[in-house]
């Protein structure tokens, strides 16, 4: 299977199954398009008619090069994984990553909050106790098999509302990792309101990554991410984020600023560039996932304008490449060299199997997006997994179990999309969220084009 497209002056051919990428000229591009459909002589005469300036000798040579690439398994390569998938679904469950919801409470009132302003559809605010957090880390260690590096994301709601417990849990984790032969990689995600020097210093010492939430331009951010009383928050968080990001850059530590775009800012490339202009170098802005009836939710008719924004963004990134204004956009940072492993390429985030979310009372869910949907609770940190049926269902989620993914050119980068979005929009874990797919495919196309452009600029 191949995928052909033109973007920013490049004629691009992706050989889906091998991952090989070819940047070609127009005649070769068209020839590849016809190669499997017509006989050699038909293709050659079509191309000669369409490109009279090309000599027959050159056309024949290009045709033979395509055949060579096919023989070398760099074009029209058959799918190497399809028949092996059944074995992956039988693999043992090894938990590698955990989202610890240390606070089901939040000091903000974001309009699009999937977590019901941090409460996750519970009636009242809830903080995780140290005891529950300890049991969660113990659960992770005991379910992690031979895996050494274990990821723990302190999440909420807003985790700084329960930061003493975060600190205690990091100390506990550091003690346990030595005994257990593990290494914890801690992360935390914050809305920035309570961020202070002490938290920053602690995070710089202990956290492998920090995620700072911000939506971009001040007016966009303040519209969607106010305090409960409606007061704006952008002016409060930006100076802290700038300081935090600068500290982490100086220490060579990871961070990223992360936002959400909605129907209110369909020109979201401006928000990404606004964040870059504030000095942030690691940026992620994602499409909102919201009920169809929400006024800010994205609609099918928005797709062309949103795709154009990714084009605008990628062209600007090429301009800034190699300058002090250069930045990374998380969703263009796909691994074009084959990804970390076959499992990951086929089943993505690993929700419900390798990755789980734990609530303040110790309940375990397949991921943070399922928290509060009690039908998806798979157990608790004290008694372990009680719903193997749900775990098996998630384990079976991969690009081949989703009919729409099987023939999708993006499948090995996207890995079958987000189960939570699929479920929220279609009621079926094995379906896909169509708007998300269109945007994912566009981002992958831009990411491939960017690689080609950077290479040309002499990366």
Contacting positions for ligand SF4 (CB under 6 A): 106, 108-110, 113, 115, 117-118, 156-158, 191, 213, 225, 349, 351, 355, 367, 369, 399, 402, 404-405, 408, 410-411, 414, 416-420, 432, 437, 440-441
- Burial readout 167-194 (b: 16 or more C-beta within 10 A, e: otherwise): eebbebbeebbeebebebebbbbbbbbe
> How far apart are CB 341 and ligand SF4 at their closest, in Å?
17
> How far apart are CB 399 and ligand SF4 at their closest, in Å?
6
Instruction: Report which residue's Cβ sits closest to ligand SF4.
Output: 417
Task: Return the number of the residue (24 or 103) whose C-beta is nearest ligand SF4.
Answer: 103
Task: Return the number of the residue (193 or 246) whose C-beta is nearest ligand SF4.
Answer: 193
How many CB atoms neighbour CB 51 within 10 A?
Answer: 16
Task: Return the number of the residue (213 or 309) whose C-beta is nearest ligand SF4.
Answer: 213
Note whether 415 and 422 are within 8 A (CB).
Answer: no
Task: Return the number of the residue (62 or 390) whose C-beta is nearest ligand SF4.
Answer: 390
> How far apart are CB 417 and ligand SF4 at their closest, in Å?
3
> How far apart are CB 419 and ligand SF4 at their closest, in Å?
4
User: What secondary structure does DSSP assign to 262-301, as a single string?
Assistant: -GGGTTTHHHHHHHHHTT--EEEEEE----TTSTTS--GG
Residues 265, 171: Cα–Cα separation, whole Å: 41
> How far apart are CB 370 and ligand SF4 at their closest, in Å?
7
3-state secondary structure of 77: coil
Residues 385, 395: Cα–Cα separation, whole Å: 14
> How far apart are CB 256 and ligand SF4 at their closest, in Å?
15
Note whether 386 and 378 are within 8 A (CB).
Answer: yes
Helix (H) or strand (E) holding 154: strand 149-155
Task: Return the number of the residue (132 or 191) whose C-beta is nearest ligand SF4.
Answer: 191
Task: Return the number of the residue (166 or 180) whose C-beta is nearest ligand SF4.
Answer: 166
Query: What value does the CA radius of gyration of the chain take, rounded to a whole number of Å?
Result: 24
């Amino acid at each position: 299977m191949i995928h052909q497209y033109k973007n920013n002056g490049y004629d691009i051919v992706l050989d889906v199954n091998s991952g090989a990428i070819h940047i070609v000229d127009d005649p070769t591009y068209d020839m590849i398009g016809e190669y499997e459909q017509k006989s050699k002589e038909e293709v050659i005469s079509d191309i000669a008619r369409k490109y009279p300036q090309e000599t027959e000798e050159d056309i024949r040579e290009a045709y033979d090069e395509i055949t060579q690439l096919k023989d070398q398994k760099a074009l029209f390569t058959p799918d190497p994984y399809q028949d092996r998938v059944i074995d992956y679904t039988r693999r043992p469950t090894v938990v590698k990553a955990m989202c610890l919801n240390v606070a089901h409470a939040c000091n903000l009132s974001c309009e699009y909050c999937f977590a019901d302003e941090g409460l996750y559809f519970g009636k009242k605010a809830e903080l995780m106790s140290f005891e529950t957090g300890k049991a969660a880390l113990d659960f992770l260690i005991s379910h992690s098999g031979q895996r050494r590096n274990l990821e723990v994301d302190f999440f909420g709601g807003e985790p700084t509302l329960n930061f003493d417990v975060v600190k205690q849990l990091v100390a506990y984790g550091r003690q346990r990792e030595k005994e257990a032969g593990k290494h914890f990689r801690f992360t935390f995600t914050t809305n920035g309101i309570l961020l202070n020097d002490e938290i920053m210093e602690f995070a710089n010492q202990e956290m492998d990554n920090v995620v700072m939430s911000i939506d971009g331009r001040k007016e966009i951010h303040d519209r969607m991410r106010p305090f409960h009383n409606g007061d704006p928050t952008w002016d409060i968080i930006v100076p802290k984020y700038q300081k935090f990001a600068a500290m982490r850059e100086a220490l060579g530590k990871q961070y990223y600023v992360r936002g959400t775009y909605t129907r209110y800012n369909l020109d979201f490339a401006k928000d990404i560039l606004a964040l870059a202009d504030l000095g942030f170098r690691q940026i992620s802005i994602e499409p909102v996932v919201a009920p169809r009836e929400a006024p800010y939710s994205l609609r099918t008719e928005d797709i062309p304008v949103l795709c154009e924004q990714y084009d605008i963004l990628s062209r600007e990134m090429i301009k800034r490449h190699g300058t002090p204004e250069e930045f990374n956009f998380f969703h263009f940072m796909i691994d074009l060299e084959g990804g970390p492993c076959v499992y990951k390429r086929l089943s993505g985030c690993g929700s419900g199997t390798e990755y789980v979310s734990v609530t303040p009372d110790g309940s375990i869910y397949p991921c943070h997006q399922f928290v509060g949907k009690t039908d998806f609770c798979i157990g608790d940190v004290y008694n372990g997994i009680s719903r193997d049926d749900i775990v098996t269902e998630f384990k079976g989620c991969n690009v081949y179990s989703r009919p729409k993914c099987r023939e999708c050119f993006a499948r090995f980068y996207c890995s079958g999309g987000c189960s939570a979005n699929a479920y929220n929009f279609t009621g079926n874990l094995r379906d896909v969220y169509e708007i998300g797919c269109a945007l994912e495919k566009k981002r992958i196309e831009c990411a491939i084009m960017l690689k080609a452009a950077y290479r040309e600029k002499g990366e």
